Structure 1
Amino acid sequence: MMYEQQQQFHHHQTNKLDMRRKAADHRRTSIQEAESLEVVDLSGMSLDSLPIPSINLGTIYKLDLSNNNLQMIPESLTARLLNVVVLDVHSNQLKCLPNSIGCLSKLKVLDVSGNLLESLPKTIENCRSLEELNANFNKLRQLPDTIGFELINLKTLSINCNKIVILPQSLTHLTSLRVLDARLNCLKSLPEDLENLINLEVLNISQNFQYLETLPYSIGLLMSLVELDVSYNKITTLPDSIGCLRKLQKLSLEGNPLVSPPMDVVEQGLSAVKGYLSEKMNNDHKSPKKKSWVGKLVKYGTFNGALRNHRSEERERFIMSDFRAIDGLASPRHIGMFSPRRLFSPRSYFTK
């Protein structure tokens, strides 16, 4: 018996050593691969066209072509940047991006700011590793309709100083998104269902001037939101749901013809604004004439701690009588699968 235990112990220790060796080999291989890749900096060289590279394009980790006079990037060149992680082409004269940019499966950072782009190629949706997209200071009028369904790892989207009129509804499926900067555009509205942006911390939609007049009620369901800038628009009334944003630390409202909350409340600061909107929410939804799903959440204490003393059995009766649970399908991760855009798309989004 003792011999068998010793054998088992020895076998266990051998397995642990093998696992450690494999992990060390994997780390060593990753380091060697990273060291074999190159950073190519061709920025600020007044280039009108790209020179024939003297290195294998597949070995490039970061390619910096910024601050030149490039009017185009060859399709064949982009298609061979198989290992590029950072591509910087800001401050050129680009009027379009090559469709082959969709081949860059490892691309994490793309900076195309300061160009003449009027649109982004639909193939950019294939860059599923993309975490940061900077398209500031262009002439963009729209984003690809289905961009939000594909770029599931996107954390920062900067599209300020363009001519964008409307953001695609698919943007609400970017559940990894932390920063959305869409100031200085021509936005007339924001998508509904913003509550799906569960990780959004910074939202800047300022300086859309005479275009943006209202905010969706769902903006108050961005529970990770820390900064909200809606300054210099044409907003007269803030949704009272903004009073529910518990993590909000910075709220910029200047330059709007606000009526609700009134300016004397705004001048008292963030706490006063949130308090005013919370109280308004509670008062409005006490009226039987004004009922909504947000109102029900308020009534049963989801947002306002002052109303959490309702009897638990009353709360349970409300839930059981009006709703039937569907396990897992109500999460932001899955709810988008049932949107009309996906269900009636020629492409199946249910395949892996």
Structure 2
Amino acid sequence: MTDEQLLEVIQETVESKAAVLDLGRKDLSTLPPDIGRLTWLKSLDLSDNKLSSLPPEITHLKNLTHLFLSGNKLTTLPLEITQLTNLTHLFLSDNQLALLPPEIARLTQLEVLYLSHNWINSLPEEICQLTSLAELDLDDNQLAELPPQIFRLTSLRHLFVNDNQLTELSPEIAQLNQLTSLNLCGNQLTSLPPEFFWLTRLEWLYLGKNHLTILPPEICQLTELEHLSLDGNLLVSPPLWIARKGIDAVRQYFGALFTRELREEAREHFLEYHW
């Protein structure tokens, strides 16, 4: 899209008072100051362009709730975004972000934050102030551990940290007791802490492509769990061929194991009594 065409689109949006503007996949490397005229805009899609910065005038879009910036060339989060305090959905995947600024804490209305396919290896302490956050995507970054700030985001229902470099999980993960879906695939986990099984609202759990050899029977405490993925591990208990059949088969495996152990224990007591 040429500069002239872009200005025409902005003028048309001014005249129509449209609340949604799609400028995705337009080969844009810059935005003109005129974008600041769209003060009523609710949703702005700038995904899959070549943007490395945003004009100061973007801060005039005070009514914006949805901002799509995935697939650009951002190396830092433009501070202008942190002034858009009505944002509820922010998409920043597929950029070149290594850090988030502390000012992200201003976005207290954020419910959905996508940061996948970046270079992030830590999060600012201030991110814990995003108390409305329900969905956080950190897929395919450089995290060696779950930043402790995440455990204070107690409204989270969906957390994606697959394809990072996690080697262990902190017991503090139990604080995320609203989680219904959790993706930990493609890490280097060898075990799960006992507190992990306090996440009793989980419905979807992805643990594939880790280094797990044993899944403890406490998995059966997750009574809401409907989907369990364990492919790509070297499971011994339960055997992988059982795990591949899903959570119901895993529950049956541990149920049968428990019954067998009870029988053996009863037999030992019987022999001891009659010896």
The alignment's TM-score, normalised by the length of structure 1, stands at: 0.59
Distance 2:96 2:233 in 1: 30
Q: Which residue in 1 is equivalent to 2:195?
A: 193
Structure 1 residues 48-67: aligned runs within 5 Å: 48-67=52-71
SS at match of 2:57: coil
Give, in angstroms, the shift of residue 267 of structure 1.
Answer: 8.8
SS at match of 1:164: coil
SS at match of 2:128: helix
Q: Which amino acid aligns with 1:60?
A: L
Deviation string for 1:166-206 (max 9, x for gaps)? Answer: 22222222221111011011112222123421211010000
Q: Which amino acid aligns with 1:85?
A: T
Structure 2 stretches lacking a partner, 5+ long: 1-38, 267-275
Measured at CA, do residues 63 and 286 of structure 1 come closer, stay the same or move farther in structure 2, by a change above 3 Å?
same
Q: Which residue in 2 is equivalent to 1:70?
A: 74
Q: 155-164 or 117-126, which moves further after superposition?
A: 117-126
Distance 2:183 2:247 in 1: 21
Give, in angstroms, the shift of residue 43 of structure 1.
Answer: 1.9
Measured at CA, do residues 214 and 44 of structure 1 come closer, stay the same or move farther in structure 2, by a change above 3 Å?
same
1:95 aligns with 2:112: no
Distance 1:272 1:79 in 2: 47
Q: Which residue in 2 is equivalent to 1:178?
A: 180
Determine which of 159, 162, 169 is the counterpart of 2:161: 159
Q: 8 Å contact 1:142–1:166 — kept in the other structure?
A: yes
Q: Which residue in 2 is equivalent to 1:278?
A: 255
1:114 aligns with 2:91: no
Q: Which residue in 2 is equivalent to 1:236?
A: 236
Distance 1:173 1:105 in 2: 20
Give, in angstroms, the shift of residue 159 of structure 1.
Answer: 1.1
Distance 1:267 1:154 in 2: 28
1:80 aligns with 2:83: yes
Give, in angstroms, the shift of residue 112 of structure 1.
Answer: 0.5
- The two structures, once aligned, show a CA RMSD in angstroms of 2.6
Q: Which residue in 2 is equivalent to 1:45?
A: 49
Q: 50-59 or 96-105, which moves further after superposition?
A: 50-59
Measured at CA, do residues 104 and 168 of structure 1 come closer, stay the same or move farther in structure 2, by a change above 3 Å?
farther
Which structure has the greater CA radius of gyration?
1
Distance 2:245 2:50 in 1: 52
Give, in angstroms, the shift of residue 48 of structure 1.
Answer: 2.0
Give, in angstroms, the shift of residue 266 of structure 1.
Answer: 7.1
Q: Identity of aligned pairs, percent?
A: 32
Q: Which amino acid aligns with 1:218?
A: E
Distance 2:190 2:175 in 1: 20
Measured at CA, do residues 195 and 46 of structure 1 come closer, stay the same or move farther in structure 2, by a change above 3 Å?
same
SS at match of 1:60: coil
Q: Which residue in 2 is equivalent to 1:215?
A: 215
Distance 2:147 2:246 in 1: 38
Measured at CA, do residues 85 and 119 of structure 1 come closer, stay the same or move farther in structure 2, by a change above 3 Å?
same
Give, in angstroms, the shift of residue 158 of structure 1.
Answer: 0.9
Distance 1:115 1:80 in 2: 22
Measured at CA, do residues 223 and 44 of structure 1 come closer, stay the same or move farther in structure 2, by a change above 3 Å?
same
